[in-house]
Amino acid sequence: MTTMTDSSVREFKMPDVGEGLTEAEILKWYVEPGDTVTDGQVVCEVETAKAAVELPIPYDGVVRVLHFPEGSTVDVGTSIIAVGVGDGAAAAAEPVQEAVADTPATTEAEEPKPEGRQPVLVGYGVSTSSTRRRPRKGAKDPAAAQEVSAAIQAEMNGHGPSAPATPAAPSAGDRPLAKPPVRKLAKDLGVDLATVVPSGPDGVITREDVHAAVAPAPGEASGAAPAAVAPAPSPAAPASYDTARETRVPVKGVRRATAAAMVGSAFTAPHVTEFVTVDVTRTMKLVEELKQDKEYTGLRVNPLLLISKALLVAIRRNPEVNASWDEAAQEIVVKHYVNLGIAAATPRGLIVPNIKDAQAQTLPQLAGSLGELVSTAREGRTSPAAMQGGTVTITNVGVFGVDTGTPILNPGESAILAVGAIKLQPWVHKGKVKPRQVTTLALSFDHRLVDGELGSKVLADVAAVLEQPKRLISWA
């Protein structure tokens, strides 16, 4: 096998495809060792906590090795694919490594560090900060640090002395270095990370370090000789269940992020939900008329279009509802723009992309934006940016035949409107009972931002526009 050199092999690292994301799952590889790739070619699809994203390679060359198989969750900054460039591309004609390595290669050279910010994704860029951890304060003697690390490794492998040198815990002035999952583990076990001795590279605390901190130390009895290290307890066997009667589905990616967000929202923002049942017969007639209008040819025209416009009109009449809560400053932040979120069910879970500055769009423009948003979500191609910065949301539960519900706020937003099924019902119209198209609207709002009066006005305005769509003109 040809030796990989700095000039012949480039290592492509998992980029931060959102804002501050720490990991992503590799869903699918589109290349394998020996394939020729060009700059900008998509080589894999990954799923973060926010969306599925395709990753283009920023090099021309030949694939040498894929460091992780499909289904692996990889930390941002970790190399996922090695590409031979220049001499390395020619050498790739020789037998290459297996299609997927068990662990990231450690002997291959990494790509030279670029100067400044280098884009690695269409529409995204790498973080300006280095992926390497900063050195821990006080670690000024590399030789001593190496000796301590070797002692720890020897003890872990069972080959070290009975009482190896113990590295010092971080000083009080240092902030312990640990990944979020390790910090959560420490919190759950009641461990102060400041007292934990790190064994990871550059002073990073690992899960094993946290577990070691709560395990009883050998030879604690005064004057007693150091006792033999007790073998680590074997992990508890997973709970058994009847696979014919139960199926367990791992919760990760978008589903895990949605679950965490909904729990956080439900127990952070004080929710209030109000309901109104409204005759939308005239709105349904207008929808049919717009479908025949040449200006809407090729556009998605449905009740959701007019419901969205009705909510935008209601917000314009009651701008205080379009706000967010600043916990740190204890302030209400009123937004002078509306990023209208539309809840969309996808194979990977519920996502809420939003239409930026929806308040400035005409009805045909809004129809085009809604159509693009829905089709992109169904294809699983919604970008993380499209799901950030929403102010209010609409969720159409009526498409499932549901009459109404009590929706939970999208985190950071002030209100969410649920639209129930539109169906013929007996209704008193002009003094007589007639079959009319009727639906029920439910508006949930954050009671820190929106009091009962304001919430009622917004819901009443939405209902009034849907009952008499000519108000879209008179209230404009």
Residue type, 413: E
Report the DSSP pairing between strands 340-342 and 392-396.
Answer: parallel
Residue 344, helix vs strand vs coil: strand
**Residue of 303, 300, 298 lying closest to 286 (CA atoms):** 303
Range 9-91 classified under CATH 2.40.50.100: yes
Read off the pLDDT of residues 263-273 as tens digits, 9 standing for 90 and up.
Answer: 777 777 889 99
Q: Is the predicted pLDDT of residue 226 greater than 70, yes or no? A: no
CATH 4.10.320.10 in the chain is located at: 169-213
Mean pLDDT in residue range 115-143: 41
DSSP calls for 254-300 = HHHHHHHHHHHHHTTS-EEEEEEEEE-HHHHHHHHHHHT-GGGTTS-
CATH topology of domain 253-474: Chloramphenicol Acetyltransferase (3.30.559)
Q: Which residue has the higher pLDDT, 188 or 273?
A: 273
Percentage of the residues of the chain whose pLDDT score is greater than 90: 44
Q: Is the predicted pLDDT of residue 286 greater than 50, yes or no? A: yes
User: What pLDDT shows up at residue 99?
Assistant: 43
Torsion of CA 145, 147, 151, 153, to 10 degrees: 70
User: What pLDDT shows up at residue 268?
Assistant: 78
159 carries an active-site annotation? no
Q: Which residue has the higher pLDDT, 224 or 205?
A: 205
User: What pLDDT shows up at residue 239?
Assistant: 62
| Encoded tokens for 308 | 């969205």
CATH 2.40.50.100 in the chain is located at: 9-91
User: What pLDDT shows up at residue 90?
Assistant: 57
Q: What pTM does this model have?
A: 0.56
Q: Is the dihedral of CA 445, 447, 448, 453 positive or negative?
A: positive
CATH topology of domain 169-213: Dihydrolipoamide Transferase (4.10.320)
Please give the Cα distance from 466 to 476 (Å, whole number): 14
Phi, psi of 100 (to 5 degrees): -135, 125
Mean pLDDT in residue range 81-96: 67
| Encoded tokens for 127 | 């973080």
Please give the Cα distance from 460 to 276 (Å, whole number): 8
Contacts 24+ apart (CB under 8 A), 29-32: 29/66, 29/70, 31/63, 31/66, 31/81, 32/63, 32/66, 32/99
CA atoms within 13 A on the CB side of 85: 20
Please give the Cα distance from 255 to 4 (Å, whole number): 40
Q: Counting every residue, how long is the chain?
A: 476
Q: Is the predicted pLDDT of residue 134 greater than 70, yes or no? A: no
**Residue of 395, 402, 444 lying closest to 420 (CA atoms):** 402
CATH 3.30.559.10 in the chain is located at: 253-474
Read off the pLDDT of residues 438-469 as tens digits, 9 standing for 90 and up.
Answer: 999 999 999 999 999 999 999 999 999 999 99
- Mean residue pLDDT of the chain comes to 79
Q: Which residue has the higher pLDDT, 398 or 8?
A: 398
Q: Which residue has the higher pLDDT, 37 or 216?
A: 37
Read off the pLDDT of residues 346-360 as tens digits, 9 standing for 90 and up.
Answer: 877 788 999 999 999
Looking up tokens 């990944």, which residue turns up?
179
Catalytic pick from 67, 211, 336, 447?
447
Of 147-161, 180-194, 269-283, 366-380, the range with the lowest mean pLDDT is 147-161
